[in-house]
Amino acid sequence: MGTFSMLPFLQFVIAIIIIIFAAKAAGYLSYKLGQPTVMGEVLAGLLLGPSLLNFLNWPVFTDTHLNVTISHLAEVGVLLLVFLAGLELYLPELIKAGKGAVVTGSLGFALTLGLGFVLALFFAFETKQALFLGLMLAPTSIGISAQTLIELKVLRGKVGTTLLGAAAIDDILGVLGVSIFLSFFVGGAIGEITGVLMILLMMTIYLIIASACGYWVLPKLAEIIERMPISQGLIAFTFIIVLFYSWSAGVFGHMAAIIGAFLAGLFLARSSQKDKIEGGIAAIAYGIFVPIFFVNVGLSSNIRLISSSGLWLLAGMLVVVIISKLIGAGIGGRIGGMTNRESLQLGFGMIPRGEVVLIIATVGVLDGVIDADIYATVVVLVILTILLIPPILRYLFSQSHESTR
């Protein structure tokens, strides 16, 4: 009896062994080929998932409860990755990039929403589905672009700070838009404005409280914790803060959890313990959780579910995302005083879709707004942007470095 009770745990153990080993091996191979490590990690997930090798239904990756557990670990990986991106920045630099970031994020969101809506109508979607598809395509993945910019050591430059600010705005607008959509079309609250106003109010209150506590309290708390005789107390404190800020952003702020993680990083960057925090959290994140996230993107997709018409929809969505973000970044970048090359770097950095898109797509399936075919198509879109954009960013930034020599 005791042996059988251990089987689920042992299955979890072997799954984690396979995932982390595959991620590191594929990431190393990708690095040796001159590509970002994220490319290899996502391809490892595709290789292990139902799209390729797992057509034999390996019991390791077909257990529903195990998949949920892996997905939760992957979500922690996203939070830590976005936290580290925030930790790399200084608040004055982000504020300085404000105008360009606001225009880039807002315009890119609006264009993606509009073009995605038109594309869905072209494919004979119902109006409600078409609007949801536009909302689903709009949010940018902070984590994917941040990972690439960190590898290239350009995150704290003009493009990097503007990109993270714009992506955060993008995600806030996306979550707000979906919340409004669900209130009007799924919750039966058509014409009801009270729920929308409450969401806006809760977002505002959360941002004010989280920012005030983060700016004045978190750095001092970090210094106090570091002086206390607690083994790895500072790292434990930081981990708790990341999770708490993420949780409170979702529960009280009605925003994506990654916004809370980003804010936690942004404010702890002011602490004198920043380097110790970064070293400790980076070891946990890049050693365990972040690889699980990128592999899980591939694991959670099944390319075989996409129909022939779905392939055309996929191509259309990819075009919509690229055009809308390049135009938004082109205008926002110029307003922010960027050169044409910097605006192009910003535009391509805004293209990757990721965690927020997957969350919105999952909500759409659960609420019956979209079906499994559309969900599979969106997941493949996420994978394509993750695979295509990092090498392009690497090329654009390498060209920029060469031109300044």
**CA dist., res. 176 & res. 227, Å (int):** 41
Counting DSSP H helices and E strands in the chain, the numbers are 19, 0
Residue 32 makes CB contacts below 8 A (sequence gap 6+) with none
Name the 3-class secondary structure at 252.
Answer: coil
pLDDT at 16 over 50: yes
Amino acid identity for residue 141 in this structure: S
DSSP codes, 186-209: ISS-TT--HHHHHHHHHHHHHHHH
Kindly report the number of other CB atoms within 10 A of residue 230's CB atom.
11
Kindly report the number of other CB atoms within 10 A of residue 226's CB atom.
16
pLDDT in tens, 214-263: 999 999 999 999 999 999 999 999 999 999 999 999 899 888 788 899 89
User: Most confidently modeled of 48-57, 203-212, 294-303?
Assistant: 203-212
Choose the CATH number for 90-284+304-403 among 1.10.238.10, 1.20.1090.10, 1.20.1530.20, 3.40.50.2000: 1.20.1530.20
Torsion sign (Cα): 287, 288, 289, 295: positive
Amino acid identity for residue 83 in this structure: F
pLDDT of res. 398: 86
**Closest Cα to residue 149, out of 81, 218, 204?**
81
**Closest Cα to residue 133, out of 347, 382, 378?**
378
pLDDT at 119 over 90: yes
pLDDT in tens, 174-224: 877 887 787 677 655 544 567 778 888 898 999 999 999 999 999 999 999
Composition of the chain by helix, strand, coil, percent to 5: 80, 0, 20
Chain centroid, CA 23 distance in Å: 18
Sort 141 into a burial class: Cβ within 10 Å, 0-12 / 13-18 / 19+. buried
pLDDT of res. 53: 62
Of the CA atoms within 13 Å of residue 252, those in its CB half-sphere come to: 14
The average pLDDT across 381-392 equals: 90
pLDDT of res. 309: 80
User: What is residue 157's DSSP assignment?
Assistant: S
Per-residue pLDDT band at 301 (split at 50, 70, 90): confident
**Closest Cα to residue 331, out of 149, 96, 166?**
166
**CA dist., res. 111 & res. 361, Å (int):** 19
**CA dist., res. 254 & res. 206, Å (int):** 9
- Measured in degrees and rounded to the nearest 5, phi and psi for residue 399 equal -65, -40
The share of the chain scoring above pLDDT 70, in percent, equals 92
Q: What is the mean pLDDT of the chain?
A: 87
The average pLDDT across 356-375 equals: 83
CA distances from 4 to 7, 9, 13 (A): 5, 10, 15
pLDDT at 345 over 90: yes
Residue with structure tokens 């009605």?
254
pLDDT of res. 3: 47
User: Most confidently modeled of 60-64, 314-318, 358-362?
Assistant: 314-318
**CA dist., res. 303 & res. 218, Å (int):** 44
Amino acid identity for residue 129 in this structure: Q
What is the pTM for the complete model shown?
0.83
Cβ-count burial 275-311 (b if 16+ within 10 Å, e if not): eebbebbbebbbebbbbbbbbbbbbbbbbebbeeebe
Q: How many residues does the chain have?
A: 405
Per-residue pLDDT band at 364 (split at 50, 70, 90): confident
pLDDT in tens, 311-322: 999 999 999 999
User: What is residue 35's DSSP assignment?
Assistant: S
List the single range of 61-65, 314-318, 345-349 with lowest mean pLDDT.
Answer: 61-65
The average pLDDT across 117-122 equals: 97
Per-residue pLDDT band at 6 (split at 50, 70, 90): low
